[in-house]
Structures are given as structure tokens and as C-alpha cells.
């Protein structure tokens, strides 16, 4: 564990990710006294700016809604331990210059041992040169070095292998922390506890009880401003291949021998290896169009006018093992939809018919965000002098159940894990390899590598997605509740 004498170097310090996620997470940890003692933060980017401008940018997303003087004081303290240096990403002298800056901070340390954590909040085009130059010019000689990188890890199987092997020439697997920030989310972590600490759930967790599973990601806004990046990747690379597949692997893996990182990751890889590549027929693609005064995807200036890039996708994955054979896992994600919501919905099979007709199925819903919750849709006798089953729910809504609830930000939890050297919630190299194997054929088809590119179905901004979606989900066995059941909105 890195307890003291640590410098965190944030590459891409002037960018969006650093401003919105990295610095706020570092501040969150700092505020709660969770950063190593005497920590320093060094921002690095190409942009030339003075320290005042740097501090203005890096603190612009720090939350202090009530202007709490204690938090303001902490922000001032936070600024003091943070400096900025500009330089290129591809030339050795820039990195030598950075190294001198790091040494000038370290010479004030009492102990000789010091650690450096390199956080690459950078576009993928410079991952490789930066990781190489850092290793050659900025590597701490007497302490621990760690490098944190973030998706996109390539754009298909081959490019991912290329990227990984290039980074591996400079960094060991032990030193490398690949972020998928969904693994830092409270509810995603909770999956391990829900599954493996509850006999009542664990014993029903297979093809005998479960009909189908849906993992859904919905965002109510479009690509606004990020169209240039997005158009190169599309929603499958942006969300499904990483975030949703991570959720799926934890949801479906076998019980790990222990919670040690390699035990968990071995099980995740094992289940992913049982999933064949996605088939075209198991896929629906969509692209949002302008509606209700909101612009369509193609109205974004940074998007080519004839783009067929999907902003919505639903795909079905099958797991060929004894536990899951025949159970469809529907992964869906979309931008510019009707609401913000990420959830897992496990739909159980029909109850034995005969004494009941047409009653709702049990459904276990794990709401990842917003407003964390777990609820189980259950049939109960409608109270009174009748004998009728009605769908209701057993409800664990976090903010009601846990007073003083403070769910940490995903990035806070992950950065802390990286300081501790705990890899459990980071993506291992072979995990990425198998994830890309599942998605590469369908992506190549969408990219037009096998001929003409498929046209996504249009859906209006703010809608539930392409119109064929309901029929698509139903064809994999998903059944809507018989009554107009909806989870009470007071819960959200
Ligand atoms: C990112 C994607 O990885 O995850 C974005 O690139 C997406 O397009 C974001 O908006 C969603 O993260 P969160 O934490 O807001 O659910």
C-alpha cells in the first residue's frame, strides 16, 4: 500500500476526463483523508497555462454546493499540493523535464523511497508513446510505480492486442491498472455479495429458474460535443463491450474461491470464454433523430452527415455452460433516450400453471443508478375478501434503508484500490481479449468490413428506442407484467 511519499501524475490534465472525473475523485479522497500522506499531484498536458488557470480548471468540478467553509478550505489545501507542467506526448525531452519536476518535489521527502502513480487521462492515440516515455524517463528508481489507463483499449481484437503488447513492453501486469469505471460502482460491487452471501438467491441462479436477463443502460442526452469521438466508436464500443459486459460477467460467473483479485478475475474470464461471438440476427441497432426541439445525432457538427454509427444497440449473448445454457442475456444501451437509468433485470420463469393463470413473473431488479436499489417483484394475495394474486415488490431502496448514505464515486473507489495495489476491480489483459472476441465480428459488420454497412433504425430523441425493440425483447422470452405494474416512483 502506498502510505506516503507519493506523487500522482495526471496526463491529459487539461482534458474533459481529468476535469470531470480524475480531479474530483482525487479531491474526494483527499477531503476524507484517504490519500497517502504528503501526496503531491502533478498535472501534465500539452496546453500551456499558468498555475492559476490550471487550478481554475481542475477545481471547476469540485462540489461545494452549500459553500461550506470547511470544504472551501480543503479546496485551497488541495490546490497547494498540485502543480502543473506542460509538454509533448511523443518526445523524450518533455518527459525528462517532467522527471526533473518530480525530483524537485521528492527531494523534500524525508525518506528515500518514493512512489509514482501515472494516470493517463488521454486519447488512445498517445497511450503507447506516453507509457513508453514515462517508463524510460520518469520511472521511480526506489519505490513503487503504477500506471492507470482507461478505455478505449483498441477498437477490435487485433488493435487491442497491439495496444496491450505495446504497453507491456514497458509495464508489468502488476504495475498496470486498466479502469472500467463500472467496476467501481457500488451496486456492481454489491453483485458479489447479493449472489454469494444469500442462499435464497444463489440457489435460484441458473437456467432452471431464470427465463432471461436484461442489462440496460439509458442516457437521456445525446453525444452533444463528443460526436467526433463517438462516431469513431459507436455505442457498442462505448458501453456494451466494456461496462455492460463487466456487469454480465460478475452476474454470471461461478463462486470464486476467495475475494482475491486473481480468484475473481479467473472466474470472470472463464464465464466469458463460454460466450460465442454475437450473431447479427441477435442485434438491433438504432440512431436518434431530432424530436421535440432536440437535435438528431446527424445534426451534431462533429458527426459526418451520412454517418450510420449506432447510438443505440441491443444484443443478445448466450453462455454455453451448465448453469446458463439457453438463457438469453440481453444487453441494451442507448443515448438520447427517455430517462437516465442503468439496471439489471433478472426475469424468472413462469410459475406452474393450473391454479394460477396469467400471473406476473418474479423479477429481481438491481438498480445501479440513479438511486441505488434492489427489488424483487413478487406476487401476493390482494388483501381483502377476494382471492387474487397481484404483483408487488420487496424493496431495498438504499437511501431509505441506509441512513447517512454516502455512496462513493466510482473513480474514488478505483483510485483508492490502485493505491492499495488491489487489482480486483480492474480489467485483466485476458479479460479484454475474450471481451473483444465476443464483439469483434459484429463490430466489423457494423463498420462495413464485410460489405455494406447496416442502417440503424431511427428513434426520436427522448423515446424508449427503436420501435422494434419491444418485439425483439419479447422474442427472447421477456414478458411484461400482466397488470400495469410500475415500481412506485416515490422510490426514486
Ligand atoms: C463512458 C462512456 O465510459 O461512460 C460515456 O464513454 C458514458 O459515453 C459514460 O456516458 C457513462 O458513465 P456513468 O458513470 O455516467 O454511467
**Residue with the larger pLDDT of the pair 3 and 480:** 480
Q: Which residue has the cell 524510460?
A: 136
The reply to whether ipTM tops 0.90 is yes
Say what the pLDDT of residue 404 is.
82
Closest atom of ligand 1 to 342 CA is 16
CA angle 116–172–275, rounded 5-degree value: 125
User: Atom 10 of ligand 1 has which residue's CA nearest to it?
Assistant: 219
What pLDDT does 491 receive? 55
pLDDT of 492 higher than 80: no
Do residues 274 and 252 lie in contact, with contact meaning Cβ atoms separated by under 8 Å?
no
The residue whose CA is least distant from atom 9 of ligand 1 is 239
pLDDT at 450: 85
Asked whether 458 and 288 are in contact (CB, 8 A), the reply is yes
Cα 96 to middle of ligand 1, angstroms: 34
**Cα-to-centroid distance, 40 and ligand 1 (Å):** 28
What is d(CA 230, CA 432) in angstroms, rounded to the nearest whole number? 20
Q: Is 101 a catalytic residue?
A: no
User: How far is the C-alpha of 184 from the C-alpha of 66, rounded, in Å?
Assistant: 27
Q: What pLDDT does residue 228 have?
A: 85
Q: List the beta bridge partners of residue 471.
A: none
pLDDT in tens, 44-54: 999 999 999 99
Residue of 55 and 111 predicted with greater confidence: 55
Q: Strand 210-218 to strand 283-289: parallel, antiparallel, or no bridges (unpaired)?
A: unpaired
Mean pLDDT of 462-467: 97
Which of the pair, 4 or 185, is modelled with greater confidence?
Answer: 185
Nearest CA, atom 6, ligand 1: 238
Closest residue by Cα to atom 13, ligand 1, is 182
User: What is the tens place of the pLDDT at every residue in 394-405?
Assistant: 999 998 899 887
In 3D, which of 294, 288, 293 has the Cα closest to residue 308?
Answer: 288
- pLDDT on residue 490: 57
267 CB under 6 A from ligand 1? no
How many angstroms does the Cα of residue 290 sit away from the middle of ligand 1? 22
Cβ(238) to ligand 1 under 6 A? Answer: yes
**Amino acid 489: pLDDT:** 57
One DSSP character per residue, 304-367 reads -TT----SEEEEEE---STTTTT--EEEEEESSBSS-EEEEEEEEPPPPSSS--SPPPPEEEEE
CA dihedral 234, 235, 238, 240 (to 10 degrees): -140
- pLDDT at 245 (0 to 100): 98
The C-alpha atoms of residue 255 and residue 272 are separated, in whole angstroms, by 14
- On whether the CB atoms of residues 482 and 379 are closer than 8 A, the answer is no
Worst-scoring range by mean pLDDT, 78-82, 214-218, 365-369, 401-405?
401-405
- Phi/psi for 290 (5° steps) reads -60, 140
Q: List Cβ neighbours of 464 (8 Å cut-off, separation of 6 or more).
A: 337, 338
Give the per-residue pLDDT at 354.
Answer: 83
Please spell the DSSP secondary structure of 193-206, one letter per residue: HHHHS-HHHHTT-S
Burial classification of residue 61, based on how many CB atoms lie within 10 Å of its CB (0-12 exposed, 13-18 middle, 19 or more buried): middle
- Residue of 100, 111, 102 whose CA lies nearest to 37: 111
Q: For residues 176-198, give the mean pLDDT.
A: 96
Taking alpha carbons only, the member of 455, 457, 477, 476 closest to residue 467 is: 457
pLDDT, tens only, 405-426: 788 999 999 999 999 999 999 9
pLDDT at residue 484, as a whole number:
62
Report which ligand 1 atom has the smallest distance to the Cα of 243: 3
CA of 220 to the centre of ligand 1 (A): 12
pLDDT tens-digit readout, 277-308: 999 999 999 999 999 999 999 999 999 999 99
The stretch 108-125 carries a mean pLDDT of 86
Overall average pLDDT of the 424-437 stretch: 97
Cβ contact 250:256 at 8 Å? no
pLDDT band at 482 (very low <50, low <70, confident <90, very high): low
CA terminus-to-terminus distance, the chain: 38
Using CA positions, which residue lies closest to atom 8 of ligand 1? Answer: 238
Query: Given the C-alpha cell 400482466, which residue does it identify?
Result: 482
Mean pLDDT of 187-197: 96
Q: Report whether pLDDT(240) > 70.
A: yes
Categorize the per-residue pLDDT at 341 as very low, low, confident or very high, splitting at 50, 70 and 90.
very high
Q: Write down the catalytic residue from 55, 101, 133, 243.
A: 243
Residues 375-403, mean pLDDT to the nearest whole number: 91
CB-count burial class (<10 Å; 0-12, 13-18, 19+) for 487: middle
Determine the Cα–Cα distance for residues 98 and 137; give it in Å rounded to an integer: 9
pLDDT at 38: 86
CA–centroid distance, 311 to ligand 1, in Å, is 13
| Mean pLDDT confidence for 243-268 | 97
Pocket test of ligand 1: the residue of 16, 24, 178, 181 to mutate, having most ligand atoms within 8 Å of its CB, is 181
Q: What is the arithmetic mean of pLDDT over 55-82?
A: 91
CA 305 / ligand 1 centre spacing (Å): 24
pLDDT in tens, 193-224: 999 999 998 889 999 999 999 999 999 999 98
Mean pLDDT, the chain, as a whole number? 93
pTM: predicted TM-score of the whole model, two decimal places: 0.95
Q: Which atom of ligand 1 is nearest to the CA of 219?
A: 10
Amino acid at each position: 500500500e502506498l502510505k506516503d511519499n507519493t506523487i500522482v501524475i495526471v496526463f491529459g490534465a487539461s482534458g474533459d476526463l481529468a476535469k470531470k472525473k480524475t480531479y474530483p475523485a482525487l479531491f474526494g479522497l483527499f477531503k476524507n483523508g484517504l490519500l497517502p500522506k504528503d501526496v503531491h499531484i502533478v498535472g501534465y498536458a500539452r496546453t500551456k497555462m499558468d498555475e492559476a488557470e490550471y487550478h481554475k480548471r481542475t477545481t471547476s468540478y469540485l462540489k461545494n454546493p452549500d459553500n461550506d467553509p470547511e470544504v472551501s478550505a480543503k479546496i485551497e489545501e488541495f490546490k497547494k499540493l498540485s502543480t502543473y507542467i506542460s509538454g509533448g506526448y511523443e518526445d523524450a525531452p518533455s518527459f525528462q523535464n517532467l522527471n526533473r519536476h518530480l525530483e524537485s518535489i521528492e527531494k523534500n521527502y524525508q525518506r528515500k523511497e518514493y512512489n509514482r502513480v501515472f494516470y493517463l487521462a488521454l486519447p488512445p492515440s498517445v497511450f503507447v508513446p506516453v507509457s513508453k516515455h514515462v517508463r524510460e524517463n520518469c520511472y521511480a528508481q526506489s519505490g513503487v510505480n503504477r500506471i492507470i489507463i482507461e478505455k478505449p483499449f483498441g477498437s477490435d481484437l487485433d488493435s487491442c492486442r497491439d495496444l496491450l503488447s505495446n504497453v507491456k513492453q514497458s509495464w508489468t501486469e502488476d504495475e498496470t491498472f486498466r479502469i472500467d469505471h463500472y467496476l467501481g460502482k457500488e451496486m456492481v460491487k454489491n453483485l458479489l455479495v447479493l449472489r454469494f452471501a444469500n442462499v435464497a438467491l444463489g440457489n435460484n441462479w441458473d437456467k432452471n429458474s431464470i427465463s432471461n436477463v436484461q442489462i440496460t443502460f439509458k442516457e437521456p442526452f445525446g453525444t452533444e460535443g463528443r460526436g467526433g469521438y463517438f462516431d469513431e466508436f459507436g455505442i457498442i464500443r462505448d458501453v456494451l463491450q466494456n461496462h455492460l459486459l463487466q456487469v454480465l460477467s460478475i452476474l454470471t460467473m461461478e463462486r470464486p474461491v476467495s475475494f482475491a483479485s486473481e480468484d475473481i478475475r479467473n472466474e470472470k474470464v472463464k464465464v466469458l470464454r463460454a460466450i460465442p461471438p454475437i450473431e447479427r440476427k441477435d442485434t438491433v441497432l438504432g440512431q436518434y433523430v431530432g424530436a421535440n426541439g432536440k437535435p438528431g445525432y446527424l445534426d451534431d457538427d462533429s458527426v459526418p452527415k451520412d454517418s450510420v454509427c449506432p447510438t443505440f444497440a441491443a444484443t443478445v449473448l448466450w453462455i454455453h455452460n451448465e448453469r446458463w445454457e439457453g438463457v438469453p442475456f440481453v444487453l441494451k444501451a442507448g443515448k438520447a433516450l427517455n430517462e437516465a437509468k442503468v439496471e439489471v433485470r433478472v426475469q424468472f420463469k413462469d410459475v406452474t400453471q393450473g391454479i394460477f393463470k396469467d400471473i406476473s413473473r418474479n423479477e429481481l431488479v438491481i438498480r445501479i443508478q440513479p438511486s441505488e436499489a434492489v427489488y424483487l417483484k413478487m406476487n401476493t394475495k390482494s388483501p381483502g375478501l377476494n382471492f387474487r394474486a397481484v404483483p408487488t415488490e420487496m424493496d431495498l431502496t438504499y437511501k431509505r434503508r441506509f441512513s447517512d448514505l454516502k455512496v462513493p464515486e466510482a473513480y474514488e473507489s478505483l483510485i483508492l484500490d490502485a493505491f492499495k495495489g488491489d487489482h480486483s476491480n480492474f480489467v485483466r489483459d485476458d479479460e479484454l481479449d475474450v471481451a473483444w472476441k465476443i464483439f469483434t465480428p459484429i463490430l466489423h459488420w457494423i463498420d462495413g468490413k464485410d460489405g455494406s454497412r447496416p442502417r440503424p433504425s431511427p428513434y426520436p430523441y427522448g423515446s424508449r428506442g427503436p420501435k422494434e425493440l419491444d418485439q425483439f425483447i419479447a422474442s427472447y422470452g421477456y414478458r411484461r407484467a400482466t397488470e400495469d405494474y410500475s415500481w412506485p416512483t416515490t422510490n426514486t
